[in-house]
Amino acid sequence: MSKKDYYEVLGVSRDVSDQDLKKAYRRLAMKHHPDRNQNSAESEAKFKEAKEAYSVLGDSQKRAAYNQFGHAGVDPASGMGGGAGAGGFGDIFGDIFGDIFGGGAAAGGRGKRGSDLRYRLNLTLEEAVMGVEKQIRVPKMANCATCDGSGSRPGSEAKTCDTCHGQGQVRMQQGFFSVQQTCPRCKGQGKVISDPCTSCSGQGVVKQEKTLSVKIPAGVDDGDQVRLSGEGESAGQGSSPGDLYVQVRMIKHDIFERDGDNLYCEVPVSYVKLALGGELEIPTLSGRTNLKIPAESQSERVFRLRGKGMRNVRNGNQGYLDCKVVVETPVNLTREQKKLLKDFEKSLSQGGKRHSPRSSSWTNKIKSFFDELVP
């Protein structure tokens, strides 16, 4: 099966600017990222397709080759796109997606960026209402304190790479077509470590835990994220650290269910209260409030309390609280209570549809239904 046109994959024209090309890729990558679409084969395929397209069109040399020769111009298997030793998109072009989420950034280590991290933070509804400041412990890769991220033993220095002569890049050429790629010996650093640091084994980074304070604004909902810039992982000396994304996970509440900025709860009530009317004490996020129940209210009636929901984290508007009153059938009745109920039911039946219009209407509908069945 032939590959789709890379411009078509990203949904852009062939004369698209570099900035708009990156925006188009970011949009697709965020939409189809595996972390957001778990167990979706379709999203995974589209994510990989977009990543491959941008890895070509995002590089001026590859884009020029693609514009002239199509897929053959950037396919190593065709004999035009990489020459001997080429290892495919991951090796030649680097991890383009790292430009967004902090993987292997542009070719080489100069100006590279550490990985972004994600931390899932469980919050109660009460904490989400008011906002809260939390202390979290995050395990991550950080610069080695012994060598300050250089990877070399203190007192020694890395040597200039003899493969790329300190450039961090090597050029592979076959005929008239050439490809520039990260130096395989120094991994783009331009230098090699001859005497590695014993604390980090020459990696320049070590695993550690860091305690951070994160402020969660009022009104956050399940899935919302707070970004802590520069609190992600380090990729060693000369790199910029990634970011930390603190993702909110809401704990199920005993009373309220949440739908965006709105809340919902069920309130058990006796049929006497619904029949005669009265007041109910209702819990809200701002304290107790009294709910007036009109006489002759029916079970499952919903009362809406405006301004008693969550405050929107972006615009400050406050949602509503829906309270559904549900009749609770009494249990464990005494003999006397049962007699009183039977006497009460008898008195209701004597009044006919005056007291129970819905039951009377239902009975009439059933009678009509069976009358029509009889030939």
- pLDDT higher than 90, residue 177: no
Whether 112 shows a pLDDT value over 60: the answer reads yes
Q: How far apart are CA 80 and CA 266, in angstroms?
A: 68
Residue 18 has pLDDT above 90, yes or no: no
Among 38-42, 188-192, 194-198, 249-253, name the most confident range: 249-253
**Tokens representing residue 201 in the block:** 């084994």
- Segment 189-204 shows an average pLDDT of 86
Specify the 3-state DSSP secondary structure of 23: helix
- Tell me what pLDDT residue 335 has: 95
The mean pLDDT of 215-219, rounded to a whole number, is 92
pLDDT at 110 over 50: no
What does the pLDDT read at residue 236? 73
Q: Is the pTM of this model over 0.85?
A: no
Residues 136 and 114: their CA atoms lie apart, in Å, by 20
Which tens digit of pLDDT belongs to each residue from 6-16? 999 999 998 88
Q: Is 317 left (phi over 0), alpha (psi -120 to 50) or beta?
A: beta
Average pLDDT, the chain: 82
H or E stretch including 269? strand 262-269
**Does 99 score more than 60 pLDDT?**
no
Name the least confident of 52-56, 133-137, 198-202, 358-362. 358-362
Q: State percent of the chain over pLDDT 70.
A: 84
Higher pLDDT, 71 or 140: 140
Q: What is the dihedral of CA 6, 8, 9, 14, to 10 degrees?
A: 50
Q: Taking residues 127-154, what's their average pLDDT?
A: 90
At 371, list the tokens.
Answer: 């009358």
Residue 315 and residue 347: Cα distance in Å, rounded?
56
> How far, in Å, CA of 33 to CA of 26, rounded?
10
- Phi, psi dihedrals of residue 121, rounded to the nearest 5°: -115, 120
Q: What's the rounded mean pLDDT across residues 108-132?
A: 83
Between 1 and 152, the more confident residue is 152
Band of pLDDT at residue 374, cut at 50, 70 and 90? low
CATH number of 257-327: 2.60.260.20
- Most confident range (mean pLDDT) of 160-164, 186-190, 272-276 is 272-276
Whether residue 70 has pLDDT greater than 90:
no
User: Is the model's pLDDT at 111 over the cut of 60?
Assistant: no
- Kindly list the domain boundaries of the chain, sorted by start residue: 257-327, 335-373
Q: Of the candidates 138, 140, 156, which has an alpha carbon nearest to the alpha carbon of residue 202?
A: 156
Reply yes or no on whether the pLDDT at 103 is more than 70. no
Read off the pLDDT of each residue in 36-63 and give the average, rounded to a whole number: 86
Pairing of strands 225-228, 244-250: antiparallel
pLDDT of residue 162: 86
Higher pLDDT, 333 or 79: 333
Place 92 in a pLDDT band, splitting at 50, 70 and 90. very low
149, two tokens: 């991220």
